[in-house]
Amino acid sequence: MAELFKAITVAQAREMIGRNLNLQPPVKRVSITEALGKRVAGDITAEEDVPGFDRSTMDGFAVMARDTFGAMESLPAYLDVDGEIFMGKEASLAIVGGRTWRVPTGGMLPPGADAVVMVEHTEELDGRTIGVTRPVAPGENIVRRGEDVSTGSVVLARGHSIRPQDMGFLAAAGVHSLEVEEPLRVTIISTGDEVVPPERSPGPGQVRDVNSYTLYGMAGQCGAYPVIAGIIKDDFQTLKEAMEKALTGSDMVLLSGGSSVGTRDVSSRVIESLGRPGVLFHGISIKPGKPTIGAVVDGKPVFGLPGHPVSAMVVFALLVEPLLKTGRYPQNEREKRLEFPLPAKINRNVRSAAGREDFLRVELKMEQGVMVAEPVLGKSGLIGTMVRAEGLARIPIEKEGVEAGEYVLVRPF
Ligand SMILES: Nc1nc2c(c(=O)[nH]1)N[C@H]1C(S)=C(S)[C@@H](COP(=O)(O)OP(=O)(O)OC[C@H]3O[C@@H](n4cnc5c(N)ncnc54)[C@H](O)[C@@H]3O)O[C@H]1N2
Ligand code: MOO
């Protein structure tokens, strides 16, 4: 069993979980319209070129560009018009030097044409001949066959989350159904003898359950399928039974409360009893969120999140969210950078401790064209501070604080 409160870094925590993880989301074939926000289960390869033919991007005249070289207002290049290409129809007759075809925006180019002259840059002479008043370069005002997608190329790679533009791209490539990962099922359990459901009036010493709802919301935002299992008594046997049931029916279990060192804190012992490898760490060098339990049981992650509502949300953002969104933790500098993407100037001094990463709730405002982060002060038990905040600012592990005017990196929410 992991040593109690021998705190490790976030990076080490991620590494330990990642190494033991075996998330296996179910896979389902869906239509394009059902795929929004889902992750692609395997590489999707284009079976045809898009567009399937060379097309004009302007209303005008299909030409061999070289026939227009040197053309100008005072000395147009004269071309005979062989006819008109209609929208959605094949252009089968090849273009002949010195001649042209009228073509609409999106129309097919005749074989041999390598550019289109916009109608504005031509003058009609006798209905059969035009004068080109500006030259075009090869490739101008056209898109080539396969320029959007070429046959055999990977349209979307495995693991990619489908966005609206991806849906259009799939349609263009003729991929009308695809295999996607089903949302991961996350069971959320709250512990604590003092915690009551929101519909109950708390008695003396009692508080309403906050964490089940913040965690439910955060999991939903990640595209997961959260289930609230309710409030379970701080009792070994009762909690063990609830956790076993949760593990059987889901891909991940989040338990909040009971992660600290109180005599009644049974979470760690219960998680350890569920299976192998069990508890990997108990304590991370962050504030808030230090008393976090990280475990993996038969490939499924199990987190014991701190009871304080802000702490639970911060730990979710750092350890749970990447797994629900991508099935893994950020691997390269770009992915890590995108977790806290927004630079902002902090507007007051904040102390931290070297060897500990701090996460500040901040409000964001623009002052003289600069993004400014104003810390929202308050203990990590106060959910209202999170409601006022618009982001989390990070003070890196090696720093002993930040001074007013320094830049911090923020994750807006
Ligand atoms: N002697 C020490 N005491 C504490 C330490 C410590 O290092 N030494 N760490 C503190 C920190 S930091 C945190 S965070 C909390 C973590 O506590 P637990 O995870 O053990 O959670 P509980 O003791 O059950 O509850 C803490 C706090 O949160 C409230 N809570 C719990 N669940 C919910 C819920 N679902 N909704 C709303 N509020 C909840 C609970 O009532 C307590 O107020 O420990 C510190 N103590
Ligand atoms: O996780 Mo505890 O809140 O550091 O407040």
122 pLDDT more than 90: yes
Q: Could you report the per-residue pLDDT of 82-99, keeping only the tens digit for each?
A: 999 999 999 999 999 999
Residues 275, 190: Cα–Cα separation, whole Å: 21
Pair (272, 291) in one structural domain: yes
Q: Is 11 helix (H, G, I), strand (E, B) or coil?
A: helix
Count of structural domains, the chain:
4
Pick from 86, 115, 143: which residue ends a domain? Answer: 143
- Give the percent of the chain with pLDDT over 90: 91
CATH number, domain containing residue 207: 3.40.980.10
Pair (72, 117) in one structural domain: yes
How far, in Å, from the CA of 26 to the mean position of ligand 2? Answer: 35
How far, in Å, from the CA of 249 to the mean position of ligand 2? Answer: 30
Pair (126, 68) in one structural domain: yes
Pair (68, 163) in one structural domain: no
259 pLDDT more than 80: no
* Largest interatomic CA distance in the chain: 98
Q: How big is the CA angle at 309 (ends 306 and 310), to the nearest 5 degrees?
A: 95
Query: Token pair for residue 353?
Result: 């401790």
Pair (108, 198) in one structural domain: no
Q: What is the DSSP string of 17-81?
A: HHHH------EEEEEGGG-TTPEESS-EE-SS-BSSS-EESSSEEEE-GGGGTT-BTTBPEEEEE
Task: Note whether 173 and 52 are within 8 A (CB).
Answer: no
Pair (387, 254) in one structural domain: no
Look at 283 and 4; give whichever has higher pLDDT. 283
Residues 274, 281: Cα–Cα separation, whole Å: 15
Q: What is the mean pLDDT of residues 223-250?
A: 95
In a domain, 4, yes or no: no
Pair (272, 207) in one structural domain: yes
Return the DSSP state at 317.
I
Pair (175, 41) in one structural domain: yes
Residues 42, 178: Cα–Cα separation, whole Å: 9
Considering every ligand atom shown, identify the ligand nearest to the alpha carbon of residue 305 and give its number: 1
How far, in Å, from the CA of 383 to the mean position of ligand 1? Answer: 13
User: By C-alpha distance, which of 123, 135, 132, 127 is closest to 76?
Assistant: 132
Confidence band of 381 (pLDDT split at 50, 70, 90): very high
In a domain, 123, yes or no: yes
Task: Note whether 191 and 207 are within 8 A (CB).
Answer: no
1 pLDDT more than 90: no
CATH number, domain containing residue 68: 2.170.190.11
Pair (326, 345) in one structural domain: no
Pair (64, 139) in one structural domain: yes
Q: Are strands 225-232 and 286-287 parallel, antiparallel or unpaired?
A: unpaired
Task: Note whether 276 and 298 are within 8 A (CB).
Answer: yes
Sequence-separated (6 or more) residues with CB below 8 Å from residue 394: 340, 357, 358, 359, 360, 408, 409, 410, 411
Pick from 278, 301, 334: which residue ends a domain? Answer: 334
Query: Token pair for residue 75?
Result: 């000395």
Considering every ligand atom shown, identify the ligand nearest to the alpha carbon of residue 383 and give its number: 1
CB-ligand 1 contact for 258 (6 Å cutoff): yes
Q: What is the mean pLDDT of residues 314-335?
A: 95
Pair (226, 312) in one structural domain: yes
Task: Note whether 214 and 317 are within 8 A (CB).
Answer: no
Which residues span the domain enclosing 408?
Answer: 340-412
Q: Which residue has the tokens 């001094």?
A: 349
In a domain, 398, yes or no: yes
Pair (254, 317) in one structural domain: yes
Peptide bond into 277 cis (omega under 30): yes
How far, in Å, from the CA of 372 to the mean position of ligand 2? Answer: 25
Q: Which of 211, 293, 315, 380 to mutate to test the pocket of ligand 2 (most atoms within 8 A of CB)?
A: 380
CATH number, domain containing residue 152: 3.90.105.10
In a domain, 3, yes or no: no
How far, in Å, from the CA of 312 to the mean position of ligand 2? Answer: 8
In a domain, 99, yes or no: yes
pLDDT of residue 260: 66
CB-ligand 1 contact for 307 (6 Å cutoff): yes
